Amino acid sequence: MAHSYLTPFAWALCALAAVPLAACSTAAPDHGSASAEGALGQAQSAQTSLPARLMRTLPWGTGEAELRLRPRGVETLAAGPDAVALTPAGDALVLDRLAGRVVQVGAGGGPRTVATVAKDAQDLTAAADGSFAAFSPLQARAWIFQPDGTPAGELDVPRTLTMLQRLSLGPSHTVQALDGYQQAMSLGSQREGAAFLPGGRGLQCRVQDGVAELWVVEQPSAERERASVVARQPLSKDASSARIVGAEGTLACVRIETVTSTPKISVERRALCLDALSGQVILDEQLGRPGLYAPRTELAMGGGRLGFILPTAAGLELRSWRLPDAAASKEVTP
């Protein structure tokens, strides 16, 4: 799928500003050095608390330490945990939506319930300070929680955002909506990018004729009416689609999908993390084929790690990788 990052797309998100949101700020996200340094410090603390490569399988069931699964039926699709997010310490937050809860999972011990959510919630996002938010497309509503799971407010998400892919939670509980055109809207403002580097430069993916690239774009300004591409990093030469998972500092992670038909349709996924400015790869992992169902958000960045969930017959497989420093990385080999 080819994305044109320059396509004008003026969504009206001003309605969010009029929605009461208890304990939540409506200030614009701060992309200055303070936020970047805080996130870096939290990520560095996570490096020592979890192994470099973590893999756990969380069993299906109805107990407190088990996750809910609705098996595939004659006229129904399989369903279960729909999203993963990562805390500043690198632990996983999993949206166990059929149980109406968010659970926290570390290197050991069973899942621990940290918040109760609506059973139609389908997405989850976390901020660098540990707060997190659950989102229900059906209700067009997001619920924000403090790091300990205490409710911190809620807000309506305008249904006019028909191309909405996911929400992103920023400093002081600011909420951004990310659309299919790789643009972010925050309380009436709009920026180019599906994730952002310190200083506000946006990140976008483009796939054309199988060639996938990561673009770094400069935001429009008074002197420049439209966004401009300042760097292009090669990702793959046989991609069918690519989507940005997130960014921390100058590091960005991307999910790349390759679909083949010979004649049976096969989908292979790959997670690639790289320095967006230098192009150096720091992590390249094969994700394999889809599981029992496709979670809405199967990959997430946080706490200096990349997290992944895969629903299997044995349970929900949780993988987590430490993101090494870019200095120890390698050049991109598409």
Q: What's 162's domain CATH number?
A: 2.120.10
Q: How far apart are CA 197 and CA 233, in angstroms?
A: 15
Q: How far apart are CA 6 and CA 194, in angstroms?
A: 13
Tens digits of residue pLDDT in 210-235: 999 999 999 887 777 788 999 999 99
pLDDT at 140: 86
Q: How far apart are CA 103 and CA 110, in angstroms?
A: 9
Q: pTM of this prediction? A: 0.78
Domain-located, residue 329: no
Q: How far apart are CA 273 and CA 323, in angstroms?
A: 8
Q: Which residue has the tokens 């109406």?
A: 100
% of the chain surpassing 70 pLDDT:
73
Q: Which residues contact 183 (CB under 8 A, 6 or more apart)?
A: 9, 11, 190, 191, 192, 193, 194
Q: How far apart are CA 66 and CA 320, in angstroms?
A: 19
Domain-located, residue 63: yes
Tens digits of residue pLDDT in 3-62: 433 333 233 322 333 333 333 333 333 434 444 444 444 444 445 578 999 999 999 999
Residues across the chain: 334
Domain-located, residue 332: no
Domain-located, residue 275: yes
pLDDT at 6: 34
Identify the burial level of 205 via C-beta atoms within 10 angstroms of its C-beta, where 0-12 means exposed, 13-18 middle and 19 or more buried.
Answer: buried
Domain interval for residue 142: 14-320
Domain-located, residue 29: yes
pLDDT at 39: 46
Q: Which residues contact 323 (CB under 8 A, 6 or more apart)?
A: 43, 248, 251, 253, 273, 282, 283, 301, 304, 305, 306
Domain-located, residue 6: no
Q: pLDDT-derived band of residue 178, with 50, 70 and 90 as boundaries?
A: low
Count of domains forming the chain: 1
pLDDT at 331: 44
Of the candidates 326, 306, 329, 327, which has an alpha carbon nearest to the alpha carbon of residue 318? Answer: 306
Q: Take residue 262 and report the two structure tokens written for it.
A: 């010979």
Domain-located, residue 206: yes
Exposure letters 299-317 (e unless 16+ CB within 10 A, then b): bbbbbbbbbbbbbeeebbb
Average pLDDT rounded to a whole number, residues 170-175: 62
Domain-located, residue 75: yes
